[in-house]
Structure 1
Amino acid sequence: MSQRSPQRIQPTLTGDTVELRPLRAEDRQALLAAAADGELWNSKLTVVPGPDTVDAYIDAALAGREAGTVMPFAIVLRRNGRVVGSTRFWKIDAVHRKLEIGSTWLSASMQRTGVNTEAKLLLLTHAFEALDSVRVQFTTDELNERSRAAILRLGAKQEGIVRNERIMPDGRKRNSVRFSIIDAEWPGVKAALTKKMRT
Structure 2
Amino acid sequence: MADDANNLEPVLRGRNVVVEPLQLSHEHALIAAAADGELWNLTLTVVPTAETMARYIERAMAGRSAGTVMPFVIVRREDQRVVGSTRFWKIDRHNRKLEIGQTWLSASVQRSGVNTEAKFLLLRHAFEVMDCVRVQFTTDELNEKSRAAILRIGARQEGIVRHERIMPDGLKRNSVRFSIIDTEWPEVRAGLEQKMARTEG
What is the match of residue 143 of structure 2? 144
Counterparts of 1:147-158 in structure 2 under 5 Å?
147-158=146-157
Separation in 1, partners of 2:92, 2:151: 23
DSSP 3-state at the match of 2:125: helix
Matched, 1:94 2:93: yes
1:154-195 Cα offsets, whole Å, 9 max, x none, are 110000000000011111110000000000000000000001
Counterparts of 1:1-199 in structure 2 under 5 Å?
1-2=1-2, 4-6=3-5, 9-199=8-198
Deviation (angstroms), 1:51: 1.5
Separation in 1, partners of 2:10, 2:48: 23
1:66-117 Cα offsets, whole Å, 9 max, x none, are 1110010000011111000000000000000000000000000000000000
Asked if structure 2 preserves the Cα contact closer than 8 Å seen for 1:7 and 1:68, the reply is no
Separation in 1, partners of 2:7, 2:189: 26
1:1-51 Cα offsets, whole Å, 9 max, x none, are 22x431762100000000001000111110000000000011111111102
2:145 maps to a residue whose letter is R
Asked if structure 2 preserves the Cα contact closer than 8 Å seen for 1:8 and 1:65, the reply is no
Asked if structure 2 preserves the Cα contact closer than 8 Å seen for 1:75 and 1:85, the reply is yes
2:180 maps to a residue whose letter is I
DSSP 3-state at the match of 2:139: strand
- Provide the alpha-carbon RMSD of the alignment: 0.9
DSSP 3-state at the match of 1:171: coil
Shift in alpha-carbon separation, 1:8–1:54, aligned structure 2, 3 A? farther
Deviation (angstroms), 1:56: 1.3
DSSP 3-state at the match of 1:123: helix
Structure 1 outlier segments of 4+, above 4 Å:
none
Separation in 2, partners of 1:8, 1:93: 16
Deviation (angstroms), 1:121: 0.3
Separation in 1, partners of 2:6, 2:145: 31
1:24 maps to a residue whose letter is Q
2:77 maps to a residue whose letter is R
Q: Which runs of 5+ in 2 are unaligned?
A: none
Separation in 1, partners of 2:191, 2:176: 23
Asked if structure 2 preserves the Cα contact closer than 8 Å seen for 1:73 and 1:87, the reply is yes
Deviation (angstroms), 1:139: 0.1
